[in-house]
Amino acid sequence: MSKLRVAVVGAKGRIGSEAVRAVEAADDLELVAALGRGDQLETLVETGTQVVVELTTPASVMGNLDFCVRHGIHAVVGTTGWTDERLAQLGTSLAASPETGVLIAPNFSIGAVLTMKFAETAARWFESVEIIELHHPDKADAPSGTAHRTAQLVAAARTDAGLPAQPDATVTELAGARGADVDGVRVHSVRLRGLLAHQEVVLGGEGETLTVRHDSLHHSSFMPGILLGVRRVVSAPGLTFGLEHFLDLS
């Protein structure tokens, strides 16, 4: 069977360089291009790339995806910074190329995806919930894409369950002390040398708390999810948001 032709865009970055090694090591995949900032996207067409792994920056991702979709190249995207407007824009380009698949995963680590799922499941049973994400200090965005998505899922579960707004008697606040507000869920971002990517979802009810925590200790934690995404996206036309859709979670 012929190997799937894969390119990594953002190949010199922290996760991109790990993805290059992971694709090279996979028997069923062939790394046909590894592009960094300033490299020509036309290389993707010239090398017959079937799937791009996009791991760059929020400023670059839209242009890269526009090129991929216009050329019918599937994409597996880890880059953060997704807003409703950006998703709508991508949806428009995908509508003009209905065979093309794009997977956007806020987090490729299986443990992190499960953290989101567990938090979403628990949310309806607790009066309070806050999210603490902790990352290396070279990370450009806050809150993390994972924390942002987790907060959205938890908030939606609370709404579905008919829960009221969370209790919070804060009257005076030093700006930022209560974190960012994502759909009514507070998200706190820690940036600390020595860390990589970590998240705690702390839920509180009368007389009890539940903490769901995940730790990515090395960029290798994201590789099984990226490879799974590459293999699955070729038969998943349109936009898939979240790796959980490829994990057969109930």
Ligand X SMILES: O=C(O)C1=N[C@H](C(=O)O)C[C@H](O)C1
Ligand Y SMILES: NC(=O)C1=CN([C@@H]2O[C@H](COP(=O)(O)OP(=O)(O)OC[C@H]3O[C@@H](n4cnc5c(N)ncnc54)[C@H](O)[C@@H]3O)[C@@H](O)[C@H]2O)C=CC1
Interacting residue ranges for ligand Y, rule: CB under 6 A: 9-10, 12-16, 35-37, 55-57, 60, 64, 78-80, 105-108, 145, 222
Residue 135's binding partner among ligand Y, ligand X, none (Cβ under 5 to 8 angstroms by kind) is ligand X
Alpha helices per DSSP H over the chain:
14-25, 42-46, 58-70, 84-95, 110-123, 145-160, 223-233
From 135, 148, 188, 214, active-site residue:
135
Closest CA to 7 of 26, 43, 32: 32
Q: Was 106 annotated as part of a binding site?
A: yes
The least CB distance from residue 170 to ligand Y, in Å, is 30
The least CB distance from residue 80 to ligand X, in Å, is 4
The partner residues of 240 in beta bridges, in order of sequence, read: 103
Give 55 or 69: the residue with its C-beta nearer to ligand X.
Answer: 55
Q: Was 14 annotated as part of a binding site?
A: yes
The least CB distance from residue 43 to ligand Y, in Å, is 11
Q: Catalytic site residue 135? A: yes
CB atoms near residue 152 (< 10 Å): 16
Distance (Å, rounded) from C-alpha 20 to C-alpha 34? 7
The contacts of residue 201 (CB under 8 Å, 6+ apart) are 115, 118, 119, 122, 129, 130, 131, 150, 154, 211, 212, 213
Distance (Å, rounded) from C-alpha 21 to C-alpha 8? 10
Q: Catalytic site residue 117? A: no
Residue, CB closest to ligand Y: 13
Residues in touch with ligand X (CB under 6 A): 80, 106-107, 135, 139, 144-146, 197
The least CB distance from residue 147 to ligand Y, in Å, is 11
Give 50 or 189: the residue with its C-beta nearer to ligand X.
Answer: 189
On whether the CB atoms of residues 68 and 103 are closer than 8 A, the answer is no
Give 49 or 80: the residue with its C-beta nearer to ligand X.
Answer: 80
Give 29 or 197: the residue with its C-beta nearer to ligand X.
Answer: 197
Q: Was 70 annotated as part of a binding site?
A: no
- What is the length of the chain? 250
**Could you list the active site residues?**
135, 139
